[in-house]
Amino acid sequence: MPIIVELKENRPGYADIEIKRWKGDAEIEIAIQRNQDQHYFAQGMQWNPEPVWHRLTNLVNTGETLKGTLEPWIIDALVQQGVNAQYLLFAKSYGLTDRGVIRFVGNILASSAGGDSFRGEDIRDIVTQEVEPVVTKVEETEIVQPEVIEPLSEPIAETPIAPSVVDTVVEPIIAPPVPKKKSPLIWILLLLLLICVGAAVWWFLFKGKSEPEQPSTNQSVCEVKAGEDELAFIQACLKTNPDTKQLLQVIENAKKMNACGVAQRLYANKAQSGNAEIAFAYAKEYDSAFSKGEGCFKLDKETALYWYETGLVADPNNTEAKKRIEELKK
């Protein structure tokens, strides 16, 4: 299993480092490789193609976990590479060597963001105020008894009103006779005959002809063409939000067209964005167990390890990737 490396938020220019699953001593040497060009951190803003080892002496071993604090000489160099950069940390001590993808936890800032000022914890006391009960005075109101109206001693006799009867005479309405129409059977037969003739003409003249299918927006925008500007193509294609299956097909087409820059950039963009399936597919391009190393991608064990471990950050339970890492480290 690879080591787990985490950099956690501290004050500007500093970050707390934790290296888990480490089985060596606390005094270690580290080398940091960035994913853009596989170069290693040297000093300041300088990155070299060959590994550069830095000794850390302020780490504490708490049982397979190293803890300590990294200072601005290294944190500034990592932060200023941009948010899309990813790093692989190599650690060695007395013959033991291991590696792991660096995970950034929290908002890690360069020293220029706040000088060397220490940001302490903001602890505030919560004061609970007692609320005095509010007593509402209810005024007494006088209850007025309603007057009682006595019923009349004698009932009032009702005088019936005789309904008036109006005699109405309803005269029957006699509808005028409707003349009988002759059924236009001959016209109906003639119309049916014309329809049949028209259908037969259409069948013989236009049979087999259909409108050409219009390509979908994703297919037309993400269609790899020879001589096309790679960066403009990638930006336009990614704006259509293709799913993983469509993106892998675009990469496969780019490989066939020998558009190696398009294939590599699409792989790296989605793998760095947390797409584990893309990261594992990218790793297999460099893995001799899955690729012959022809075309756009040459076999490279270190690069395969890097992308397998990048994919495990998003999918830590992928057994195939874990198995390949163990095999490649032998």
Q: Compute, in degrees rounded to 10, the torsion defined by CA atoms 209, 210, 212, 216.
A: -160
Q: What is the pLDDT of residue 31?
A: 95
Tell whether 144 is covered by a domain: no
Give me the CATH number covering residue 260: 1.25.40
Helix 276-286 to helix 244-256 angle, to the nearest 10 degrees? Answer: 30
List pLDDT tens digits, range 47-92.
998 999 999 988 998 887 999 999 999 999 998 877 667 888 999 9
pLDDT, residue 14, reads: 94
Domain boundary among 98, 113, 128: 113
pLDDT band at 214 (very low <50, low <70, confident <90, very high): very low
Nearest residue to 108 (alpha-carbon basis) of 77, 136, 130, 150: 77
- Evaluate whether residue 68 is within a structural domain: yes
| Assigned domain for 186 exists | no
- DSSP letter, residue 295: T
On whether residue 267 sits in a domain, the answer given is yes
- Which of 113, 146, 170 represents a domain boundary (last residue)? 113
Work out the average pLDDT over 254-283.
Answer: 91
Q: What is the DSSP letter of 144?
A: P
Poorest-pLDDT segment among 14-18, 102-106, 137-141, 249-253: 137-141
Please report, for the domain that includes residue 102, its CATH number: 2.60.40
- Single pTM value for the model: 0.46
- pLDDT above 90 for 17: yes
Is 21 part of a structural domain of the chain? yes
In a domain, 298, yes or no: yes
Give the tens place of pLDDT for each residue, 135-192.
Answer: 344 444 444 444 444 444 444 444 444 444 344 444 545 555 555 555 677 878 888 8
In-domain check, residue 97: yes
Burial letters 145-171, b for 16+ CB under 10 A, else e: eeeeeeeeeeeeeeeeeeeeeeeeeee
Identify the domain boundary among 87, 113, 139.
113
Percent of the chain with pLDDT over 90: 35
Q: Which residue range(s) make up the domain with 295?
A: 219-328
Give counts: helices (H), strands (E), the chain.
9, 10
Query: Domain for residue 240, yes or no?
Result: yes
Q: How many domains does the chain have?
A: 2
